[in-house]
């Protein structure tokens, strides 16, 4: 994939290698591939209308759009921007999202970020390294700290809606 946009209507799976330098890869299914995944400076957008799994990997730009819950399968690194849009929920489970100080984290109206897993005692933090001036949370977005352990609520972002919950 170079500077084009490619859309996959189903899952990205298998044991091969996917590499691209720029462009956009829209995935309507889940990314469960076991091979090498190199997003270069491109954008990977999970744009399905239902639940999707997001592979533990390093992404340049990562987006969620459409609807449904997008679930991390491991820790991820964002070397550019993270955009939560549509009416999606991004569930971190017990995995950390690590950003970059030059990247932006945006959440649109009607989106949610669930930090932690109520069935797991791993403390997860708000996505790290993004700077306060580059975190844009819509006033109608929701961030929920929900691990089954103590979590520190980040003072960095200006939250739209903030909730806490444990099982």
Q: What is the pLDDT of residues 18-68, one digit of tens each?
A: 888 888 999 998 888 888 888 889 999 999 999 999 999 999 999 999 999
Read off the pLDDT of each residue in 66-72 and give the average, rounded to a whole number: 97
Q: What's the chain's average pLDDT?
A: 92
pLDDT at residue 149 tops 60: yes
What's the Cα-to-Cα distance from 24 to each of 40, 117, 127, 159, rounded to whole Å? 11, 30, 23, 29
Asked whether the beta carbons of 158 and 138 are under 8 A apart, the reply is no
List, as one string, the DSSP characters of 7-53.
Answer: EESS-B-SSSEEE-SSSEEEESS-B---SEEE-TT-EEEE--SS-EE
- What is the pLDDT at residue 1? 56
Give the global pTM.
Answer: 0.93
- What is the pLDDT at residue 18? 82
């Amino acid at each position: 994939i170079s500077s084009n946009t490619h859309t996959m209507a189903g899952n990205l799976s298998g044991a091969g290698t996917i590499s691209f330098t720029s462009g956009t890869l829209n995935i309507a299914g889940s990314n469960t591939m076991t091979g090498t995944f190199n997003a270069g400076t491109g954008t990977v957008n999970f744009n399905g209308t239902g639940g999707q799994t997001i592979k533990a990997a390093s992404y340049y730009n990562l987006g969620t759009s459409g609807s449904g819950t997008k679930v991390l399968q491991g820790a991820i690194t964002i070397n550019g921007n993270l955009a939560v849009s549509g009416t999606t929920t991004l569930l971190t489970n017990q995995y950390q999202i690590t950003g970059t100080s030059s990247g932006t984290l945006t959440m649109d109206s009607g989106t949610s970020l669930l930090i932690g897993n109520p069935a797991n005692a791993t403390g997860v933090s708000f996505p790290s390294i993004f700077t306060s001036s580059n975190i844009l949370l819509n006033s109608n977005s929701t961030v929920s700290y929900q691990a089954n352990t103590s979590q520190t609520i980040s003072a960095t972002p200006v939250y739209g809606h903030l909730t806490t919950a444990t099982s």
